[in-house]
Amino acid sequence: MALQTLIGKRIPVLDQGWVELQDLMGDDLAIVNAARVSFLGESRGEERDKRLLFYLMEHRHTSPFEQVEFKFRVRAPLVTWWQWVRHRTWSFNAQSGRYVPFDEDAFYIPAVWRKQSPSNKQASLGELTPEEGKPFTEALLQHYAQSYALYRRALEAGIAREQARLFLPGFAVYYTWVAKVDAHNLMHFLQLRMAEDAQFEIRVYAQAIYEHFFKPALPWTAEAFEQFVLKAGTR
C-alpha cells in the first residue's frame, strides 16, 4: 500500500469517536537503514533487509524503530484519554473547553454495561443483559441532558467557559486531540492496550490504530511484532 493513501484516513471508534492519521514519517526500510547507518543506510535486498528487521525486534534493539513517527488526530471520551496520557512518550495537544464550547451530543454512551470483576479491582467481567442495562442507559441520557442544560445556562449567564464546563459529566465528554509517537513507543502502547485485560474504551482505539495504520504502514515490523512480542507475551 502506498503510504500516502493512509494520510487523512479516518476510522470510526466507539459511538462517536474516530482515529485519523495526520502524518507519517518513515517505513520498514527507514528502520533497516537506521540500523545500517555505518554503511550509509544502503539496502541489501528485500530478503536481507527483512531478516535484519526481524533480528532487531527479536533481540530488542529498539532505537532503529524510533526513526519512524506517526501523528494522529483522535476523538475519544475522557475515559479513554485519561488512560492514554499515562503513556508519556507520546506528544499531545488537546482541544480546550476554555476556548471551544462543547456540543450537545458530545458524550459517550456505552453500547453495553459491563459488570465489575470479583477478582480484579480495576477490571470488568461479563455484561448486563439489554433489559438489565436499559434503565441505566436511560438514566445516563437524562443525566447528560440535565448536565448540558446547566452548562448552556451558565454560558448564557455570562459565566466563563472554563467554569461552565464544571457542569458537564467529566469522564463521558468527547475531546479531540493530536498525538504523535515513534514506532517503538507505539508498539509498547499497542502491546499494553490491545491486551485482553485493557479497558474496552482504550482497547478499541489501540486495535484501530494497529489494524488500519500500523500494519499497512509497517508490514514487516508488524509481522515481527506479532511473532516476537505479542505471541511471546501469551506463552
User: Among residues 48, 152, 165, 193, which one is catalytic?
Assistant: 193
For residue 109, tell me if it sits in a domain: no
- Which pLDDT value is given to residue 207? 98
For residue 107, tell me if it sits in a domain: no
Predicted confidence (pLDDT) at residue 104 exceeds the cutoff of 90: no
Q: What is the total count of domains within the chain?
A: 2
Give the model confidence (pLDDT) of 105-138 as tens digits. Answer: 899 999 999 999 898 888 899 999 999 999 999 9
Distance of CA 25 to the CA centre of its chain: 18
Residues 57 and 128 in one domain: no
pLDDT classification of 40: cutoffs 50, 70, 90: low
**14-40 mean pLDDT:** 90
Residues 142 and 221 in one domain: no
Residue 226: which residues within 8 A CB-CB, separation 6 or more? none
Residues 213 and 161 in one domain: no
Residues 160 and 192 in one domain: no
Give the model confidence (pLDDT) of 140-159 as tens digits. Answer: 999 999 999 999 999 999 99
- Which pLDDT value is given to residue 56? 96
For residue 57, tell me if it sits in a domain: yes
Residues 73 and 12 in one domain: yes
Residues 211 and 189 in one domain: yes
Residues 143 and 200 in one domain: no
Residues 88 and 183 in one domain: yes
Question: Which of 143, 172, 201 is the endpoint of a domain?
Answer: 172
Residues 118 and 190 in one domain: no
For residue 65, tell me if it sits in a domain: yes
- The CA distances from residue 149 to 100, 123, 135, 167, in Å, are 17, 33, 21, 9
Predicted confidence (pLDDT) at residue 53 exceeds the cutoff of 90: yes
For the chain, the average pLDDT equals 92
- Which pLDDT value is given to residue 46? 87
For residue 203, tell me if it sits in a domain: yes
Residues 74 and 187 in one domain: yes
- Which pLDDT value is given to residue 233? 63
Cβ neighbours around 33 below 10 Å, total: 19
Q: Read out DSSP for 196-210?
A: TTS-HHHHHHHHHHI
- Which pLDDT value is given to residue 170? 86
For residue 155, tell me if it sits in a domain: yes
Residue 230: which CATH number?
3.30.1360.170
What residue numbers bound the domain in which 168 lies?
A: 114-172
**39-64 mean pLDDT:** 87
Give the model confidence (pLDDT) of 56-100 as tens digits. Answer: 999 999 999 999 999 999 999 999 999 999 999 999 998 777 777
- Which pLDDT value is given to residue 2? 66
Residue 74 β-bridge partners: 19, 177
- Which pLDDT value is given to residue 122? 82
Q: Is 48 annotated in the active site?
A: no
Question: Which of 124, 157, 172 is the endpoint of a domain?
Answer: 172
Residues 7 and 83 in one domain: yes
Is the model's pTM score more than 0.85?
A: yes
Question: Which of 172, 195, 215 is the endpoint of a domain?
Answer: 172
**25-47 mean pLDDT:** 83
* More confident of the two residues 2 and 219: 219
Pairing of β 91-94 and β 174-182: antiparallel
Residues 83 and 155 in one domain: no
Residue 191: which residues within 8 A CB-CB, separation 6 or more? 229, 230, 233
For residue 131, tell me if it sits in a domain: yes
What distance in Å separates the CA atoms of residue 84 and residue 82, rounded to the nearest whole number?
6
